Amino acid sequence: EEALRAAVRLAPHHWYPYARLADLVFRARLVRRGQARGGQLEARDLTELAAEPAALAREALRLGPEEVYAHEVAQLVARLSGDAAAADALDRAILRL
């Protein structure tokens, strides 16, 4: 995580570090929260855990609007955090790419 945060600081104009960091942070937080709660996650957990990764994914999309991976990460965060409308829109955007 620290290496990706450094990459974002060093190349704030490039989409890829934002997308990788969003993916890593979201997955790591899900795992840590799940482990802390005995393998159980609730919808409110997912929404709470998605705040920073969603912002990072939005920045990746802004910087790399034609990049499939940026869309895939944003779609994953949206889908797992319960934002079905955004996830569906991102699915359509991926298909257009």
Nearest to 19 by CA among 41, 32, 27, 80: 27
**pTM assigned to the model:** 0.91
Distance of CA 2 to the CA centre of its chain: 16
Q: Where are the domains of the chain?
A: 2-96
CB atoms within 10 A of CB 93: 17
How does DSSP classify residue 83?
A: -
CATH assignment, 2-96: 1.25.40
- Cα 32 to Cα 25, 41, 47, 67, 69: the distances in Å are 10, 10, 15, 29, 24
Backbone angles phi, psi at 11, to 5 degrees: -135, 65
pLDDT at 44: 86
Distance of CA 23 to the CA centre of its chain: 5
pLDDT at 45: 85
Q: What is the pLDDT along the chain (97 residues), one digit of tens a residue?
A: 999 999 999 999 999 999 999 999 999 999 999 999 998 888 888 889 999 999 999 999 999 999 999 999 999 999 999 999 999 999 999 999 9
pLDDT at 43: 85
Q: How is residue 23 written in tokens?
A: 């993916």
